[in-house]
Amino acid sequence: MEEFDIIDTRIPTLGPSKIPSPVKPPLDDSRCNSFVADTDRVSLDVDIDKIKQLIEAGIDPPSFELAGPREKIYFDPSKLKCAMVTCGGLCPGLNDIIRSIVLQLYYGYGVRNIFGIRYGLQGFIPKYGHDVIALKPEVVANILDTGGSILGSSRGPQSVDEIVDSLERMNIGILFMIGGDGTLRAASALADAIKERSLKISIIGIPKTIDNDIIMVSRSFGFDTAVDVATRAIQGAHNEAKGYPNGIGLIKLMGRHSGFIAATAAIAQQDVNFVLIPEIEVDLDGEKGFLRSLEERLKLRGHAVVVVAEGFGQKLFEGSEEERDASGNVKLKDIGIFLRDSIKAHFASRGAEISLKYIDPSYMIRSLPANANDSVFCGFLGRDAVHAGIAGKTRMLVSHWNNFFVHVPMSLSAGKRKRVTACGKLWRTVLEATGQGSLRNSVE
């Protein structure tokens, strides 16, 4: 069987849901059902033939729970206390998520005790002394046009036991954790500790990765905004490159391990001639390598635009000292500066003059407000996270899969990564749009 045939998609719960939900139907019409049942499923696979084969073999095709409000809920909203925390790097849409969670809890379920934890997981640890924010509709009313996170963020591991101690002291029933892969791992560890103590605390994850690289998540919030702004950087680089003899525009975009932003932006704004991403091996030197291909492009057209993802070419720094950030992630060497200097040195060695403009919009993109598409998407994510938590579900994240919002067990996504595949449609389209070829001197 393939991987999807054997995975466990069951979502843990804190106990049976017995309280009638206060969520009202959108219309006063008996035909308008607001509620979703756990038996409403979304298939992991879209291959109809494969699904039929599984059914014929007596195997239930793997599927996810459909997200949405349940008819019966676990928590009593009048007594419930909720908390939320944003962790890791900034990303467009964080404030949209915060706002949607607060408004759904407050107006949809009547929850009045909602707390924002300041500066990531540090906010749970007494020694840091960070205040807790009481979140009400008036606090979040005007935060959509503000980039970053009103709660702040931080990196670095914190004591799981101390965090659970803090949740107990605050009598928190649901913790919403908004973050990337490291946050999902931390959320899993918290859920383990909560289970060991036999506590009734729901842990709900909202996957945050501007790189769109969390597995079992077809689209992550902030990605659309990142591509949108990246295309403007490409436009600027193209104009700069065309404006000078032998002009080169070099843009470094986000993508530590996965090149989805670079690849998608290059397709969206087809002025790019070379795309370099972590998943695809490229030779810098040699007859068919990148530098020689760039040289040929300048001879042919007089200008060129190069997009590089931040995680590309880290092997080029082998032998240099490895550094790690507070979360234990390897600090990437600056491939943008390296390429800039390598391109200049290559053409200088040939006595050729170039005009190279280097653009790095990364931190500007990360801290921007979400665009309209991302803002709408965040609204769905936040509200579905509330529906799941208040129904007593835990150790799960809200995902977008096969055009539906679904519940995914944290174990399926934490510690795993989605990557651009060399044989996939996205990369094939990049090659067709740029015409760059393999940029390899020999292909094994």
Return the pLDDT at 3: 45
b/e sequence 387-404, b meaning 16+ C-beta within 10 Å: bbbbbbbbbbbbbbbeeb
* Parallel/antiparallel/unpaired status of strands 202-207 and 396-401: parallel
Q: What is the enclosing helix (H) or strand (E) of 91?
A: none
Domain boundaries, the chain: 3-220+370-413, 223-367+422-434
**Rounded-to-integer distance, Cα 335 and Cα 367, Å:** 22
Fold classification of 3-220+370-413 is Rossmann fold (3.40.50)
Burial zone of 322 (CB within 10 Å; 0-12 exposed, 13-18 middle, 19+ buried): exposed
Angle between helix 372-390 and 223-242 (nearest 10): 160
What phi and psi values does residue 178 have, to the nearest 5 degrees? -105, 110
Active site (annotated) includes residue 384: no
Return the pLDDT at 424: 94
User: Shortest CA distance to 100 belongs to which of 112, 108, 92?
Assistant: 108
What phi and psi values does residue 207 have, to the nearest 5 degrees? -65, 125
Return the pLDDT at 138: 97
Return the pLDDT at 1: 37
User: Is residue 92 within 8 Å of residue 225, measured between CB atoms?
Assistant: yes
Tokens of 414: 């934490």
**Rounded-to-integer distance, Cα 151 and Cα 331, Å:** 25
The pTM of the full predicted model, rounded to 2 decimals, is: 0.91
Query: Same CATH fold, 223-367+422-434 and 3-220+370-413?
Result: yes
Superfamily (CATH H level) for 223-367+422-434: Phosphofructokinase domain (3.40.50.460)
**Among 96, 181, 211, 271, which one carries the catalytic annotation?**
211
* Residues near 308 by beta carbon (within 8 Å), at least 6 away in sequence: 250, 251, 252, 253, 262, 275, 276, 277, 335, 336, 339
Return the pLDDT at 68: 96
Give the mean pLDDT per block of 10 residues along the chain (444 residues). 64 96 76 86 75 67 93 97 95 97 97 97 95 97 92 90 97 96 92 96 95 91 95 95 96 94 96 97 94 96 97 86 68 93 96 95 90 96 98 97 95 86 95 95 72
Return the pLDDT at 56: 67
Across-strand partners of 44?
A: none
Radius of gyration of the chain (CA): 24
At 398 the three-state DSSP class reads strand
